[in-house]
Amino acid sequence: MIEAAMIWNEPNNKSHWDPDVDPGWARFAQMAWLAGQAIQSANARLPRVLGGMSPIDPCFLHNLAGRGALDQVDVVAVHGFPLDWNLWCIDEWPQKIAEIRAATHLPVWVTEVGVSSFGAEEVQAWGVDRTASLLHGKAPRIHWYSLYDLPRAWPATTRHREAEGSSYYRHFYMGLLREDGTPKLSLERFGQHTPAMGICQWFHFEDHRLDDAVVWLKRLGVRHLRTGLSWADSFRPNALAWFDRQMEALRDFDVTVTFCFTPEHLGIMPHHTSAPREPERFAEFCASMIERYAPSTASDTPITNAVAVA
């Protein structure tokens, strides 16, 4: 069920990690090292993935390597949205992958890539095909973001909102399905690229879309799924019941599970993007989730190359 464990999400994006609290990412590097060690202790065969970079930045990777964080991960990941948020052309995808490969010996996964239908559904449909042609064979994992549009009643995870102009509102149009579950033009096109291309779909706490999502993912032929288990949500009432339901529903997929979001009461600042006061607490959460959903067995041996899981 779980094929990989991802440590945080977009740590070099201030929407997910506050650089004012942790300038230079020293605290993040320590937390990632502790989490990677804890995950390996819980299950030595499970690849540990550094949360996808957004923006794609070799300097950020060099910084973390210098702080020892990469010693406890097996894969690095990148996120890219060149038609919506990034200041580079979609045809530069192979170059962006090459830049990260030149900065590390670790395999490079693309754990979020997408195109919004904000301007036109035809643009998104074209983007699915172009992305697949550019990335196929370039990365062991490619996860399209996302299956569903973000409901307009939910806030997008960002710190910028109105200052972003149309960029903020593009968050709500990234799905292959509209908010009401009806297909866009891109859905059929995406189905032509599975199982080589997977999906990244975040499920909110007690998300009403979970069961329908499973039906669509199977219909599309998706094998690889990336989702998350929120450290912050783990303090909600009935959190484990929801986590159990979510992971049971996804048991037929190869899941990269992302651990992220600081509980407000444990952060240096009371916000989910804050570095925690005690990074060991995050490592303990990661280990407990692996022990619950991907327990080690006597036959498990440490992995030697994360590309082997491709």
Looking at residue 1, its pLDDT comes to 85
Looking at residue 310, its pLDDT comes to 38
Q: Tell me the pLDDT tens digit for each residue of 29-42.
A: 999 999 999 999 99
Q: Tell me the pLDDT tens digit for each residue of 185-233.
A: 999 999 999 999 999 999 999 999 999 999 999 999 999 999 999 999 9
Tokens of 237: 């009432």
HEC sequence for 265-299: HHECCCCCCCCECCHHHHHHHHHHHHHHHCCCCCC
* 130: helix, strand or coil: helix
Pick the closest to residue 84 from 112, 56, 115 (CA basis): 115
Is it the case that residue 308 has pLDDT exceeding 50? Answer: no
Query: d(Cα 53, Cα 17) in Å, to the nearest integer?
Result: 11
pTM of the model: 0.93
Contact between residue 294 and residue 43 where contact means Cβ atoms under 8 Å apart: yes
Classify residue 142 as left (phi > 0), alpha (psi -120 to 50) or beta. beta
Find out whether the peptide bond into 146 is cis, omega within 30 degrees of 0.
Answer: yes
Stated as kind and residue range, the H or E segment containing 225 is: strand 224-230
Tokens of 116: 């919004």
Q: Tell me the pLDDT tens digit for each residue of 77-124.
A: 999 999 999 999 999 999 999 999 999 999 999 999 999 999 999 999
